[in-house]
Amino acid sequence: MADPHTKAALSRRKLLTAGSMAAGLAMLADVSHSQDNPAANVEDRGTNIQITSLKGFRVGTKAYIKIETNRQITGWGEVTGLEPMVAVALAQSLFELLDGENPTRVEYLWQKLYRSHRDMRGGPFMTHVISAIDMALWDIAGKAWGLPVYRLLGGPVRDKVRYYSHAKAHKVGTGGPHPHSGDPRDIEPLVKNIKQTRERVGPDGTVMFDAHCAIPPAMLIQLAAAIEPYDILFLEEPAVPGNIEVFKRLKESIKIPLATGERDRTIWGMIPYLQERCIDILQPDCAHTGGISQMHKIATLAEAYMVPLAPHCTCSELGVSASLQAAFVVPFLVIHEMYLDGHLMPPGVANKTFKVLDDGHVTAPEGPGLGVHVDESQFEKVNADPKRKFVWPKLTLPDGSVRDY
């Protein structure tokens, strides 16, 4: 039988415990309602914001996507590598899935768009347009909280990003169509161009070579052996994506670091290169691969394999600014591609806030969101320029057969 004194002690202990808990909860309630408690004064600016419209614009060879909200916060994104009128039409169709949604639910909306149609999932048209929408959503999220996007992604891991092209970092192109295997007359002009570029940038400069999927494997193996003395940073796009065995064969035969990824989309497109260890540098394009959201995931995936990124980017300053938001939070980054000051878009259309430094680097975009200001009044002027009209490539070899480029 239990001691009556013990029973009394246990009852007093339960009473004291219950009283302490009640007092604690009361104090917690008082604190939670106190004006001095920071947690009580936090405003979730994303709670009551909704997407009200999506507008697409052809701007030369690009398409700009504008997303508007009921809070008068606007986001911008860029579609590249796609016929712009098709991009505009697809983006406007996808608005059906965005109407009334909270734009700060970026990952949720990315998944909703990407998985929306089983027959279009992962295709370049769909993914390129989703990339622009993703940029615009991040732009809105950053503006809603008054922060640059890279702060929302975890903050910068570097103070500046190295870029090309500039005086000390240059990428050499293929210079035309090439046969399936090369005679000296086919290979020597390419070797000469690379040699001259190395001499121009000096031993402290950077040279890259872009095979652009235009040099068939047999000739590329010949060329790679001939340019080894010129110490290029990487050989880009060694083969057309789609058959990983070709990349494995090239990796076994070429000593120069190989880079690719601009025509591969999302994390799922990058996995084979990493698993098969046939690529040294990944080159995802923010406007091709699924936007900032996928760039961030691809960087983490590649980091696990000790593979750095050298982001591909042939966007105007709008897409460049989006890509830089991701680049500043990537731990393993080699160099970033960009072409500024009217090369891909006339000055004044998309106005950058990042600074170009004399040492071949750029600073982070400034201000909330993407840190770029778009002037819609310039669109009509761009579209009136016949040199900025989208034209389908028509490329053949000397014998008249169709070639890759």
From 166, 178, 296, 312, active-site residue? 312
> For residue 36, which phi and psi values (nearest 5 degrees)?
-85, -5
Chain-centroid distance of CA 317 in Å reads: 13
Q: Give the end-to-end CA distance of the chain in Å, rounded to a whole number.
A: 92
pLDDT at 358 over 90: yes
Tens digit of pLDDT for each residue in 3-13? 555 455 445 55
CATH code that applies to domain 51-147? 3.30.390.10
How far is Cα 59 from Cα 85, in angstroms, rounded to an integer?
10
Give the SS3 label for residue 329. coil
CATH code that applies to domain 161-370? 3.20.20.120
The per-residue pLDDT of the chain, averaged, comes to 90
Q: Which residue has the tokens 């190395």?
A: 198
DSSP 204-262: TSEEEEE-TT-S-HHHHHHHHHHHGGG--S-EE--S-TT-HHHHHHHHHH--SPEEE-T
How far is Cα 139 from Cα 136, in angstroms, rounded to an integer?
5
From 170, 212, 361, 373, active-site residue? 212
pLDDT for 45: 62
Region 306-314: mean pLDDT is: 98
Q: In terms of pTM, does the model score above 0.85?
A: yes
Tens digit of pLDDT for each residue in 123-132? 999 999 999 9
- For the chain, give percent helix, strand, coil, nearest 5: 40, 15, 45
Q: How confident is the model at residue 398 (pLDDT cuts 50, 70, 90)?
A: confident
How far is Cα 248 from Cα 300, in angstroms, rounded to an integer?
23
Are the CB atoms for 285 and 310 separated by under 8 Å? no
pLDDT for 24: 46
pLDDT at 34 over 70: no
**Rg (alpha carbons) of the chain, rounded to whole number:** 27
pLDDT at 144 over 80: yes
Region 336-341: mean pLDDT is: 92
pLDDT for 51: 98
Tens digit of pLDDT for each residue in 235-279? 999 999 999 999 999 999 999 999 999 999 999 999 999 999 999
- Please list the residue range(s) of the chain that carry CATH number 3.30.390.10: 51-147
pLDDT for 115: 96
Active site residue 288: no
- Please list the residue range(s) of the chain that carry CATH number 3.20.20.120: 161-370
Active site residue 180: no
Region 59-80: mean pLDDT is: 97
Q: How confident is the model at residue 291 (pLDDT cuts 50, 70, 90)?
A: very high
Tens digit of pLDDT for each residue in 205-245? 999 999 999 999 999 999 999 999 999 999 999 999 999 99
Are the CB atoms for 232 and 171 separated by under 8 Å? no
Region 18-23: mean pLDDT is: 47
Q: How confident is the model at residue 181 (pLDDT cuts 50, 70, 90)?
A: confident
